[in-house]
Chains A and B, each alone.
Chain A
Amino acid sequence: MELLCCEVDPMRRALPDPNLLYDDRVLHNLLTIEERYLPQCSYFKCVQKDIQPFMRRMVATWMLEVCEEQKCEEEVFPLAMNYLDRFLAVVPTRKCHLQLLGAVCMFLASKLKETIPLTAEKLCIYTDNSIKPQELLEWELVVLGKLKWNLATVTPHDFIEHILRKVPLPKDKLLLIRKHAQTFIALCATDFNFAMYPPSMIATGSVGAAICGLQLDDGDSLTDLLAKITNTDVDCLKACQEQIEAVLVNSLQQVQQQQQQSSPSKTVDELDQASTPTDVRDINL
């Protein structure tokens, strides 16, 4: 009888499906439908009265922390932020209800993407019990209605594999590039400037920033190639990638400030859970 090692990821995953990943029709369809799921307007100007951009950042940071702590799938956080932005683009919302909305969006995104979704109770505890599970479930219905039950949003993550397989990259670096690109995508989701960008552009910019950050690029040809893959305008892509790098620098500075303020023994732990995901630090800018 063979011995079985049980110390593996308890989540059973399907293998990557070549029918989906190596077929350009899939990429083309994603590019065709992605804009349907963008928020309708820049809502701080035209819809919201009570909610300010810094509040979105606060709730986004909290959502990312919860998703990281609960080891959610990578897609859950950006997807939840997409729901949040789409809801806020149509419904004027009170400041004191914004965290509830964030929790509802995580609840929905987790149910859509995960084998074992986050529970309503757990999410309520994360709001320090400021909301009740019953309220979460009620508002789930409201959010679903406002999103017209269109939850299967195209996210930047959907493009990552399609992009990576078309860029010549050293195989041993692929895992790291993917991880960094995912981190950039999460970072973009915390920043409202990216909320109206097509997911393909964020994905392409994130892959570009990941490759450049690891100094694996060979000049302008990379940007041209990336732009071609997702039919993005080269200048837009360059601007997007620069913006992503700026957001990274900005958030690294924030982390440094936090480090200086808090005691050194705590910082590593905090950094793991804070708004900046850990591996960003490894990037050589």
Chain B
Amino acid sequence: MCQSPLGCLTADPAQLVPPWLPCVCSCHPSPVTRSAFPAAAAMPLSQSRAGQSPCSSKACRNLFGPVDHEQLQQDFEDQMKQQLEEAQQRWNFNFETETPLEGPFKWERVLVAEQAPHEVHSLVRAVISSDSRSSLAHRVPPKERVGRICPEEAQQSSKVCRAGSLQGLKRGQTTIKDFYSAKRRIVPARPRP
């Protein structure tokens, strides 16, 4: 597999990459402090790990000389862009703009009444067309899906909104079986006439 050429980077890196400040001197980066890196500092249990502190250890060494941080950032962006393109092809869905594209999956907007408007647009599902050879098509037989969803839609319309809320999901998903029932209740939550 080849890397994408360095010149073709067009995607906005800010969307893919958390804010990152390039180091001024790539040879001797300053020691990282906890405050400079909140994500790791927030990690639970990190202090209670057994084992000695690495600072004075012989294992603490740089193996292959100075790291080119700018090149590293560039390679990272290329890799992420490539992954995004692969995902876009795989699912025929543009994950950056959250818009469906032409392809084997049909994407439908699913609206959940009680959810805030900004959350609604992310709830979409794939309907697999019958001629699709995607592996998902085997796992979710369309017949079963339709048979399960439709009858419940009528009975559980009042439950739908609550099940869609985060709390409802958390409570429901204690076992795999529960997960499926929770999922079933969300799926029919389409706007009704």
Measured CB to CB, the residues of A under 8 A from B are: 10-11, 47, 55, 58-59, 62, 65-66, 69-71, 90-92, 94-100, 116-122, 124-135, 137-139, 141-142, 145-146, 270, 273
Contact = CB atoms under 8 A, between A and B. Distances in A.
Interface of B: 1-3, 17-18, 20, 23, 29-32, 34, 37, 39-40, 43, 45-46, 48-52, 54-55, 57-69, 71-73, 75-76, 79-80, 83
Nearest to A145: B83
Nearest to B19: A134
Nearest to B41: A121
Contact of B76 (A55, A126, A128, A139): A139
Nearest to A269: B58
Nearest to B29: A129
Contacts of B61: 62, 126-128
Given A120-B37, A120-B40, A142-B80, A131 B67 contact: yes
Contacts, number: 136
A98 B63 CA distance: 9
B35 to A, nearest CB: 12
Contacts of A66: 54, 59
Given A121-B34, A132-B69, 4 more contacts: A10-B50, A96-B66, A116-B46, A126-B57
A125 B1 contact: no
Nearest to B26: A130
Contact of B20 (A59, A134, A270): A134
22 contacts: A55-B64, A58-B63, A99-B62, A99-B67, A100-B67, A116-B46, A116-B48, A119-B49, A120-B37, A120-B39, A124-B32, A126-B60, A128-B62, A132-B29, A132-B37, A133-B37, A134-B37, A135-B72, A137-B39, A138-B76, A270-B58, A273-B57
